[in-house]
Structure 1
Amino acid sequence: MRFAAALALLILGACPTEICRAASDVVSHIQWLSADAPAHKSKGPSYGITELLIAFMDSEWPQVQHQLLTANSKRSWQMIGSGEPACHTTAVHTAEREKLAYFSDILLVLPAQLIVNRAHLAALPLNTKGEVDLPQMLRQGNLQGALVEGRSYGAVVDAAVASRPAGESLKFFSSQGFGDNVLQMVLKGHADFTVDFDVALRTLDERGIVRSQLVGLPIQGASEPLVVGIACPRNAWGLSAIRQIDKLMSSPAGLGLLRSAGTRWATPEILRIYGPRLEQFYKERSKLTHYP
């Protein structure tokens, strides 16, 4: 209630017509990149916000043509890196990616976790808190892992993966959606572990896939929520696009969309632990834009 009252007091407009028109002089078309296929194509629920986001942009920024392009992480970042007129809808915000893209932060998500077949629990190096020592596990090399190529799992996990010893204990695969193909590999015993987010496991539940043999464990050092943002190329087109996107996402209507979409990712347990931080995130989001 307090948050709703605060929003009611905001006088920010969603997108003043003259400002939108100025941005549209440069930005006439945006390809919205997402690895999460629309719900009607994936034949199951979608936990992404892409469809909601594009509908919102169509309504609030009609001067621009908005088009969805389903693409895996590798292809998306190739397009952004080459400066194409495309923006990723939900990209983990990392310092490395800032070299390629401008970001407008829109979500906080739980940190990634190690997802392992229950049969291999005894082989994991755990600390006293039950967290997996990922660098040590990769050094041991006794388990076969599978990750999504081009995807970020947060700074801690990315660093551990980048510094792993040479060898075949970790392989990368192209995958769309929330890494469904890779999760299925672990489920079927074709890989021993992967790294993914809680929401990915819930997509299996919602699609009626029995995954009782999969266990999600926290990763040592990766306990902070991750910031997810919209990412546009770091060039003149991308700056013009991200400025308007940023303003729209800071408006009352934009914040309402983000809060609604955020609940799709959250369970009651998540809200219990991270609820105050989520409220603070949206409060700060309402007060500023990254690119004035």
Structure 2
Amino acid sequence: MRKLFLVLPLMLPVAATAQAVMTWLMPDLPPASIRLDGQPSTGIVDMEIAYVAAHWPEVEHRYIYANLKRSWTMLDAGEPACYSFTLINAERLKRAYIVETIALPPLQLFVRAEAAAMLPFNADHQVDLAQLLAMRTLRGLLSEKRSYGVQLDAILRKRPPDASLKLTTIGSYGENIFSKMRLSRADYTIDYDFVYAYYQSRNPKLSGLQSVPIAGSGELLKSGFACPKTPWGKATAQRIDAILGTREGAQAMRRSLDNWLSPNTRQLYANQFAAFYRQRERPMRRFDDQQQARESKP
């Protein structure tokens, strides 16, 4: 059956509850999903879903591009669709059946090569963010409206009043911040390794920045597909989980992200990545609240 790549209205018809159609809610957020002529292309979840679709040819795979808020509104309403890129936490596990797909590296500190030697490192060669914020010699630039996670947000809130850190509302996610760093208007920022890789692929002039781990932010983040807490959602999650729960499926999920990671990041978190994908080689087998609560972390 030929797979169709469509942009659909945000409310799905009741007829879509039949499993002849599999509807994916897509983030318009590269490189998680790279939208090309209205269709998924080479993004992380694009490649994940392409694998699932290739092993589930008896259904028609459709695509809706929706932001995070609208996607979760649809899931909470029981719409027969699955969100393709959700970071997993205890609160979301209560709201949806979630199939783990990949492990994401934690946020990194990106620094100009010329300033890297001035960073305050701990014994594990991780940046002490609180100490960095207290330095006047290095200039930071972060997005004003973005959350950097519970731990890092708490450190940022406690920064000294005279910290050399500016908050900006500039758009294009991190691209403009990286551009300002290239022009020496800032020395460091915080972002994901794969996000920097994407912007660097679009603009080779953004090369030359170094990424280093931040103390207190060393755990991998789990991401996956979220399906509604309905009989349809449970059956769909189980079907997807069975497709992914093989050595081939686990390796396909890993490849979807590996191309966007730097060699340094792959090496730094090699043991954690290996442990996660060994688990992904087996189906989760069931999707009840008790099991998901045991497997989740706040």
TM-score, normalized by length of structure 2?
Answer: 0.65
C-alpha distance 77-114 of structure 1, shift in aligned 2 (>3 A) = farther
| Amino acid in the other structure paired with 1:33 | M
Which structure is richer in relative contact order (CA contacts within 8 A, separation 6 or more)?
A: 1
The DSSP-based 3-state class of the residue aligned with 2:259 is helix
Shift of 1:220: 0.9
Task: Tell me how far apart the structure 2 counterparts of residues 181 and 135 of structure 1 sit (CA, whole Å).
Answer: 24
Q: Does 1:147 align with 2:143?
A: yes
With 252-261 and 233-242 compared, the bigger mean Cα shift is at: 233-242
The aligned runs of 1:92-241 (5 Å cut-off) are: 92-98=87-93, 100-117=95-112, 125-137=120-132, 143-147=139-143, 149=145, 153=148, 156-161=151-156, 163-164=157-158, 169-171=166-168, 175=172, 179-188=174-183, 193-212=188-207, 214-233=209-228, 238-241=233-236
Figure out how many residues of one structure are paired with residues of the other and give that number: 259
**Contact 2:144/2:167 (<8 A) preserved:** no
2:62 match: 66
Task: Tell me how far apart the structure 2 counterparts of residues 166 and 98 of structure 1 sit (CA, whole Å).
Answer: 36
TM-score, normalized by length of structure 1?
Answer: 0.66
Which of 283, 289, 293 in structure 2 is aligned with 1:288? 283
The DSSP-based 3-state class of the residue aligned with 1:221 is coil
2:250 match: 255
Shift of 1:106: 1.5
Which of 66, 72, 75 in structure 2 is aligned with 1:80? 72
RMSD: 4.1
**Contact 2:100/2:222 (<8 A) preserved:** yes
Structure 1, residues 200-228: CA drift from partner, whole Å, max 9, x if none? 33334433522355332321122233322
Task: Tell me how far apart the structure 2 counterparts of residues 52 and 251 of structure 1 sit (CA, whole Å).
Answer: 17
**Contact 2:24/2:82 (<8 A) preserved:** yes
The DSSP-based 3-state class of the residue aligned with 1:210 is helix
Task: Tell me how far apart the structure 1 counterparts of residues 124 and 271 of structure 2 sit (CA, whole Å).
Answer: 24
1:32 match: 25
Q: Gaps (5+ residues) in structure 2?
A: 1-15, 288-298
**Contact 2:112/2:208 (<8 A) preserved:** yes
Shift of 1:261: 2.1
Task: Tell me how far apart the structure 1 counterparts of residues 54 and 158 of structure 2 sit (CA, whole Å).
Answer: 46
With 214-223 and 92-101 compared, the bigger mean Cα shift is at: 92-101
C-alpha distance 164-63 of structure 1, shift in aligned 2 (>3 A) = farther
Task: Tell me how far apart the structure 2 counterparts of residues 188 and 258 of structure 1 sit (CA, whole Å).
Answer: 36
The DSSP-based 3-state class of the residue aligned with 2:102 is strand
State, as a whole percentage, how many aligned pairs show the same letter.
Answer: 25
**Contact 1:232/1:241 (<8 A) preserved:** yes
**Contact 1:117/1:192 (<8 A) preserved:** yes
Q: Gaps (5+ residues) in structure 1?
A: 1-22
The DSSP-based 3-state class of the residue aligned with 1:215 is strand
**Contact 1:248/1:254 (<8 A) preserved:** yes
